[in-house]
């Protein structure tokens, strides 16, 4: 009976992990970018929807960082991303919902109602940190601190867009559920 050597088992596992990681990366980044393009392609309000996602996630990330640094005490996911706090999450959620509301307020009678804008903001506030934690989990699993060197001190390109990728998908499906596509 054939017994694979320990070296063969490691090679097979490494190849499986490599292929799985590649496919996951293509799906994660590809679906996020396609969702952002699909938002942009919405009739009449596509540009507004795409910019709203970008601005709201940026505002949420920024305020989450500031609040977390100033008053953060309770760790959100200590093994995945030790610097993230629940206090930062709450601050980021408030900023994301507020930015979504402000960005969509002028078109409230034509595109999304105030309630729909607030629900969209809540969906973005939930999806963006998940994207950030997902990318942190991948980096931790690979044993790297940054996803690239192009943006020194910022962790790489994926660290700048990880939340946007998840939020774009969430925004597209929320707007789809509102029958605005």
Q: pLDDT for 121-158, tens place per residue? A: 999 999 999 999 888 887 777 776 655 555 455 556 67
Nearest CA-CA partner of 128 in 168, 88, 101, 95: 168
Domain range annotation of the chain? 21-177
- What pLDDT sits at residue 22? 76
Rounded Cα distance between 15 and 124, Å, is 35
Q: What is the pLDDT of residue 14?
A: 75
pLDDT of residue 52: 97
pTM value? Answer: 0.83
Confidence (pLDDT) at 180: 77
What pLDDT was estimated at residue 151?
Answer: 47
Residue 4: its pLDDT value, please?
55
Q: Is the dihedral of CA 134, 136, 141, 144 positive or negative?
A: positive
In this prediction, the residues of the chain whose per-residue pLDDT falls under 70 are: 1-13, 144-157
């Amino acid at each position: 009976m054939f017994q694979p050597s320990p070296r063969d088992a490691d090679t097979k596992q490494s190849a499986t992990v490599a292929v799985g990681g590649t496919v996951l990366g293509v799906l994660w980044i590809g679906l996020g970018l396609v969702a952002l393009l699909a938002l942009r392609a919405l009739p009449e309000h596509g540009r507004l929807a795409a910019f709203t996602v970008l601005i709201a996630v940026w505002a949420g990330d920024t305020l989450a960082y500031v609040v977390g640094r100033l008053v953060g005490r309770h760790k959100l996911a200590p093994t995945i991303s030790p610097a993230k706090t629940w206090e930062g999450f709450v601050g980021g959620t408030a900023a994301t919902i507020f930015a979504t509301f402000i960005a969509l307020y002028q078109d409230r009678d034509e595109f999304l109602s105030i309630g729909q804008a607030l629900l969209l903001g809540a969906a973005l506030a939930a999806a963006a940190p998940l994207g950030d934690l997902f990318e942190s989990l991948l980096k931790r699993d690979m044993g790297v601190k940054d996803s690239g060197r192009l943006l020194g001190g910022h962790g790489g390109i994926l660290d700048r867009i990880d939340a946007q990728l998840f939020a774009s998908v969430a925004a597209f499906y929320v707007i789809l559920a509102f029958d605005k596509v």
